[in-house]
Amino acid sequence: MTWVITRLCSDCKDTACVEVCPVDCIYELTVDDTSYRNQLFIDPDECIDCGACEPECPWGAIFEDAAVPEVFGQDTEINASVFQEHSREEFRITPEQLLDDPIPEQVIENEKKWGYER
**Segments forming the whole domain that contains residue 32:** 3-113
Does residue 70 fall inside a structural domain? Answer: yes
Tell whether 108 is covered by a domain.
yes
The domain that holds 100 is classified in CATH as 3.30.70.20
For residue 57, being part of any structural domain is answered with: yes
User: Is residue 118 included in any domain, yes or no?
Assistant: no
Reported as half-sphere exposure (CB side, CA atoms, 13 A), residue 2 has a value of 18
Q: What DSSP character marks residue 92?
A: E
Tens-level pLDDT at each residue, the chain (118 residues)? 799 999 999 988 888 999 999 999 999 999 999 999 999 999 999 999 999 999 999 999 999 999 999 999 999 999 999 999 999 999 999 877 767 789 999 999 999 999 998 8
CA 95 – CA 103 distance, rounded (Å): 21
Q: How many domains does one find in the chain?
A: 1
